[in-house]
Amino acid sequence: MTAQWIDGKVIAATLREKVARQAAHYKSMHGQQAGLAVVLVGNDPASQVYVRSKIKMTTEAGLRSIEHVLPAETAEADLLALVEKLNADPTVDGILVQLPLPPQINADKVIAAIHPDKDVDGFHPVNVGRLATGTGGLVPCTPLGSLMLLKTVQPDLSGLEAIVLGRSNIVGKPMAQLLLAESCTVTVAHSRSRDLPALCRRADIVVAAVGRPEMVRGDWIKAGAIVIDVGINRVPDPASGEGKTKLVGDVAFAEAAAKASFITPVPGGVGPMTIACLLANCLKAAAMRRGWESPVF
Ligand code: NDP
């Protein structure tokens, strides 16, 4: 079997168009754009690139982008004060504080300070609880995007065996909750799990989020399984020249594609969905605050 690619770029572009249409509708109803505030502390180059991309796509989708760039030595109290200000600002519908934060700032404290209804990353403990109890709320963007990709090729996931490799708060755990809510039988594996290959071979759905380049091999994949590769790893690429690098996922793509029915590429799979889901979450947050049922999801 040779897997078909799940094209995250195309699916994310379609979602962004949908958000843009609804954002225009929202503006016509409320007289102002939904607003997304992004806070960047310090000058981590990867975060700067990511934040620039978020700002560009926010504006392109017809949402208002509000940026706060703070120096690396910002005190925790000053960041918390900014979050409070954004919480109270009626023109701000979504707040995203870019992680990682400098060492003097406790990220958990900052996440907990964001109002749950403006928490477009879905990391606030209230939203974690809402996801776990199936009571709505804002869902973390990467797992949400991963689920959307999955459902483009398999709309009904009920009864399927799924394995999530990784148990982080931002990817693995919420991904497992989403799959459970879809009535999958879910295994969550991590660095202490025994015999990962055997666990994976049982699964109809494999979601890899370990941050280990090409760890999941082709012979871990059951014939016909669907593989969602969340991993983004930069590795040396001597074939392209000395000092060159390339991005690879957590799955050995060619090997796994020979066994799977569908697979996401890296880059161009889950990555583009993350920002598209952030925009959708911002619109959803704006709509929820005004009692308007957002049709994005
Ligand atoms: P974390 O480092 O927070 O978590 C990694 C998880 O993988 C942990 O639960 C860890 O287990 C587990 N793990 C690590 N090594 C192994 C191993 N050898 N065998 C089994 N499990 C292992 O990473 P994130 O969840 O933040 O990210 C995971 C990947 O997804 C990364 O490549 C990251 O770059 C990517 N990512 C991509 C995004 C996108 O937009 N596409 C967004 C966010 C992340 P334990 O808990 O036991 O330590």
Distance, in Å, from the CA atom of 204 to the CA atom of 260, rounded to the nearest integer, reads 9
* For residues 201-212, average pLDDT: 98
Tell which wins on pLDDT, 290 or 264.
Answer: 264
Helix H or strand E encompassing 177: helix 172-181
Specify the pLDDT at position 296: 62
Sequence-ordered list of residues with C-beta below 8 angstroms from that of 123, at least 6 positions apart, any chain: 111, 140, 169, 170
Per-residue confidence (pLDDT) for residue 294, from 0 to 100: 61
Amino acid 172: pLDDT: 98
Distance CA(13)–CA(271), nearest Å, equals 12
User: Whole-model pTM?
Assistant: 0.97
Residue 108 has pLDDT above 80, yes or no: yes
Torsion, CA 32, CA 58, CA 291, CA 82, rounded to 10: -90
Same fold flag, 28-115 and 141-271? yes
Q: In the CATH scheme, what is the homologous superfamily, with its name and number, of domain 141-271?
A: NAD(P)-binding Rossmann-like Domain (3.40.50.720)
Are 63 and 92 in contact by the 8 Å Cβ rule? The answer is no
278 lines ligand 1 (CB under 6 A): no
pLDDT at residue 297 in the model: 56
Instruction: Express each pLDDT in 275-285 by its tens digit.
Output: 999 999 999 99
List all residues 6 or more positions away from 102 whose beta carbon is below 8 Å from its beta carbon.
41, 42, 72, 73, 74
Structural domain boundaries in the chain: 28-115, 141-271
Query: How far is residue 207's CA from residue 155's CA, in Å, rounded to a whole number?
Result: 16
Counting atoms of ligand 1 from 1, which one is nearest the CA of 274?
40
Identified catalytic residue from 18, 33, 54, 204: 54
Q: Looking at domain 28-115, which CATH architecture does it have?
A: 3-Layer(aba) Sandwich (3.40)
Tell me if 174 CB under 6 Å of ligand 1: no
- Per the annotation, the verdict on 246 as an active-site residue is no
pLDDT band at 189 (very low <50, low <70, confident <90, very high): very high
- Is 32 catalytic? The answer is no
| Ligand 1 atom at minimum distance from 250 CA | 32
Q: Given 22, 98, 119, 284, which residue is catalytic? A: 98
Q: What percent of the chain has pLDDT over 90?
A: 94
Is residue 210 within 6 Å of ligand 1 at its C-beta? yes
Cβ–ligand 1 contact at 271 (below 6 Å): yes
Q: Cα separation of 44 and 71, whole Å?
A: 11
pLDDT in tens, 171-180: 999 999 999 9
Q: From the CA of 233, how far away is ligand 1's center (Å)?
A: 10
Of 141, 90, 137, 96, the residue nearest 290 (C-alpha) = 90
37: phi > 0 → left, psi -120 to 50 → alpha, else beta; which? Answer: beta
Q: Catalytic site residue 98?
A: yes
Predicted confidence (pLDDT) at residue 295 exceeds the cutoff of 90: no
pLDDT tens track for 142-170 = 999 999 999 999 999 999 999 999 999 99
How many residues are recorded in the chain?
Answer: 297
pLDDT at 226 over 80: yes
Distance CA 69, CA 288 (A): 27
SS3 287: helix
> Which amino acid would we find at residue 40?
L
